Amino acid sequence: PPPHLHLLLPHTSSTTTGFSPIPQPLDQDSMSAPVGTLGSKLPDFTLDSTVGKTSLYEAFGESWGILFSHPADFTPICTTELGMAEEYLPEFTKRNTKIAGLSCNDAESHKKWLDDIAEYTKQKRGKAFKPSYPIFADTDRKVAHSLGMINLEHVNAKGIPLPARKVFFVDPNKVIKCTLCYPASTGRNFDEIIRILNSIQLTANNKLATPANWKVGTCGGSTVLAPSVQGETAKAYNYKTVKLPSGKEYLRIVQEQKEK
Residues in the chain: 260
- Give the residues across from 50 on adjacent strands: 52
- Give the residues across from 151 on adjacent strands: 162
Report DSSP letters for 175-186, one per residue: BEEEEEEE-TTS
Active site residue 78: yes
**Does residue 33 contact residue 228 with C-beta atoms inside 8 Å?**
no
- Give the residues across from 253 on adjacent strands: 224, 240
Selected catalytic residue, list 78, 104, 178, 219: 78
Angle of the 107-125 helix axis to the 76-87 helix axis, nearest 10: 70
Beta strands in 58-120 (DSSP E): 64-69, 97-103
Burial class (CB in 10 A: 0-12, 13-18, 19+), 91: middle
Q: List active site positions.
A: 78
